[in-house]
């Protein structure tokens, strides 16, 4: 009886913990820290949960994308305004703020641009998924890069962002089958082509911004 009671209690505790986890993840605004930790430490377990979640683009942006993109923008502002650049020194507060705001805006826009490109390419790789699913893929895979945005505060630390970028590629690779229903034999081709397409679109977007006078 003692062993049976112990096993029963353990089972109930496990169910309670699972219930708490599911309840916690139903509220996006309360799970930024937990989601970021989970996607970084257990991506293979977290992507299926993300794929099952019902969400909106607005909640994805306000609850996850905006706060994380802001990290790099704030660090960039601090570096330009108070630390300075080699041979140039510190920039004025106004110039530094404009650069930070433009970078922040570009970071927000790049997610939806990448999502549209990925959605458009999906059928060509036997995949399916709407813009929101593609945006979730881009956003959560970008987590290490956005967190590494803190390294913008020092040029000496910025090479560490390469490590974050490489891990973001891995996260994208793991998440693609879950968010875009990509067959196993199409994951790498889809990943490579979509990455190239997103880079091209981003470069064009940056060029247009520069021509309009908003480049950094």
Higher pLDDT: 205 or 177? It is 177
Mean pLDDT of 173-200: 94
Please say if the pLDDT value at position 126 is more than 90: yes
Average pLDDT over residues 156-174: 92
- Residue 171, pLDDT > 80, answer yes
CA distance 37 to 32: 8
Of 195 and 29, which is predicted with more confidence?
Answer: 195
pLDDT band at 14 (very low <50, low <70, confident <90, very high): very low
Helix, strand, coil distribution of the chain in percent, nearest 5: 80, 0, 15
The SS3 assignment for 67 reads helix
Given a cut of 80, whether residue 112 has pLDDT beyond it is yes
Give the sign of the dihedral formed by CA 102, CA 73, CA 38, CA 62. Answer: negative
168: left (phi over 0), alpha (psi -120 to 50) or beta: alpha
Q: Would you state the pLDDT for residue 172?
A: 96
**Rounded CA separation 148/151 (Å):** 6
pLDDT at residue 158, as a whole number: 79
Q: Mean per-residue pLDDT for 118-138?
A: 96
Predicted confidence at residue 24, as pLDDT, reads 44
Predicted pLDDT at 140: 97
Better pLDDT: 95 or 19: 95
């Amino acid at each position: 009886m003692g062993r049976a009671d112990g096993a029963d209690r353990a089972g109930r505790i496990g169910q309670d913990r699972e219930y708490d986890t599911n309840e916690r993840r139903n509220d996006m605004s309360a799970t930024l820290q937990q989601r970021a930790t989970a996607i970084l430490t257990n991506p293979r377990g977290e992507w299926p949960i993300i794929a099952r979640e019902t969400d909106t683009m607005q909640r994805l942006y306000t609850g996850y994308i905006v706060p994380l993109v802001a990290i790099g923008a704030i660090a960039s502002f601090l570096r330009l305004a108070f630390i300075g650049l080699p041979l140039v020194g510190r920039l004025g507060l106004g110039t530094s703020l404009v650069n930070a705001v433009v970078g922040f805006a570009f970071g927000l826009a790049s997610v939806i641009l990448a999502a549209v490109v990925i959605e458009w390419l999906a059928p060509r790789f036997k995949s399916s998924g709407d813009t929101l699913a593609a945006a979730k893929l881009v956003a959560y895979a970008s987590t290490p890069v956005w967190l590494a945005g803190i390294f913008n505060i020092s040029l000496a630390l910025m090479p560490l962002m390469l490590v974050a970028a490489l891990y973001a590629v891995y996260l994208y690779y793991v998440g693609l089958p879950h968010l875009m229903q990509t067959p196993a034999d199409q994951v790498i081709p889809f990943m490579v082509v979509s990455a190239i397409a997103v880079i091209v679109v981003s470069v064009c977007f940056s060029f247009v911004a520069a021509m309009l006078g908003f480049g950094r």
